[in-house]
Amino acid sequence: MSHDMQPETSAAIRMELAALGTRASSLQRHQRRARVTASLVGVAAVALTTSAAALFVANAPGATVTSALGTTTTATHTGPALVDIGAAPSTAGAVIIDVTCLNRVGVVQVPTDDGTSTSGIDCSVSDSGTMHVTDGQLPDGGTQFSVNASPGTTWRATLQYASSVTSEWGVNAQGQTYGIENRQGHPDLVPYTADNGRKGWVLWEKTFGADRVGTVDVYETDGVTVIGRATPPVGTLPEVPLDRGLIDDLESVETAVPSPSSTP
């Protein structure tokens, strides 16, 4: 066979690889997400929002604040379903979703951000688990929100449109940005707690962007004043030990096929 890959597909993969080591790298963002996912496996609710953002103060620079808009829609289904949540208000930027598992089967997933990521809950470990997602993807032009699920999973979801405002990162006198990671990528300085317990900021590149992390300085937002030292956990690129059962559950997740009668 003399075939080579199609040029546009090849170019897309090449671009993804070339972006490694830069803030534009989806692969690195994806890897961090995967790590968070793995660390949550086995916990009743595997609820992921925008990576580390949820772990830090809600009003940090770069944080996304969502405010509920209008009415809620509640639906109960078994398996994947499209839920009609009406037309999006003009100010809507996200969908807030609360999912509750109603039986101990499979996985429920909802699309988040611009649809390139998902949040999921593993119902197989708890028949009453709940997941709260604030960055659900807006319906693509229509009114139907797609809840993906394993065929036998019974779930209840309450959905509501929300405004979504992401604040700007701060910039210090050195020109370094500081704040929390969001869908734009990461700033130069991100929050971290020093070994002495004080909360401050560390250089992303030396902490999360590095493969061999030693002890790093924890600064004030000025990026100069050192308030402590921190020793981030080693092994920043671990083999993600995905559980075989969870993989089977994840692979069983189906997407509802749009049709006029698909939302009873």
Partner 1 sequence: MNDQDDGPLWERAQENDGEAFAVLFDRHRARVYRRAMSLTDGVHDAEDVTAAAFYELWRKRKTVDVVSGSVLPWLLVTTVNLSRNHRRAATRYRSLLQRLPRGDELIHARNDEQMELRARLTTSLAGLSPADAALVVLTSLEDMPVWQAAQALGVKPATARVRLHRIRRRLRDDLHDLDPTPRTSPEGIYS
CA distance 176 to 171: 5
Nearest to 95 by CA among 157, 53, 63, 137: 137
Q: Which is nearer to partner 1, 111 or 139 (CB)?
A: 111
Q: Which is nearer to partner 1, 16 or 84 (CB)?
A: 16
Residue 39 interacting with partner 1 (CB under 8 A)? no
Residue type (1 letter), 2: S
Q: Which is nearer to partner 1, 140 or 251 (CB)?
A: 251
Residues near partner 1 (CB under 8 A), total: 37
Residue 175 interacting with partner 1 (CB under 8 A)? no
Nearest to 85 by CA among 108, 114, 50, 110: 110
Find out whether 143 and 92 touch, Cβ atoms under 8 Å: no
**Paired strand residues for 78:** 154
What is the CA 130 to chain-centroid distance, rounded?
16
Residue 41 interacting with partner 1 (CB under 8 A)? no
Q: Which stretch binds partner 1 (CB under 8 A): 86-94, 167-175, 183-191, 243-251?
A: 243-251
Write the interaction track for partner 1 spanning residues 181-210; mark x where CB under 8 A is met and - where it is not. ----------------------------x-
DSSP result, 28-93: HHHHHHHHHHHHHTTSS-----SGGGGGS-TTSTT-EEEEEEEEEEEEEEES-EEEE--PPPTT--
Q: Which is nearer to partner 1, 5 or 224 (CB)?
A: 5
Smallest distance, Å, CB 24 to partner 1? 9
Find out whether 114 and 95 touch, Cβ atoms under 8 Å: no
Site for partner 1 in 51-70 (CB under 8 A): none
Q: Which is nearer to partner 1, 27 or 226 (CB)?
A: 27
Find out whether 130 and 122 touch, Cβ atoms under 8 Å: no
Q: Which stretch binds partner 1 (CB under 8 A): 4-12, 128-136, 157-165, 255-263?
A: 4-12
Residue type (1 letter), 215: T
Q: Which is nearer to partner 1, 32 or 156 (CB)?
A: 32
Give the interface with partner 1 as residue ranges (CB under 8 A): 1, 3-6, 8-10, 12-22, 25-27, 30-31, 34, 116-118, 209, 211, 237, 239-240, 242, 247, 250-251
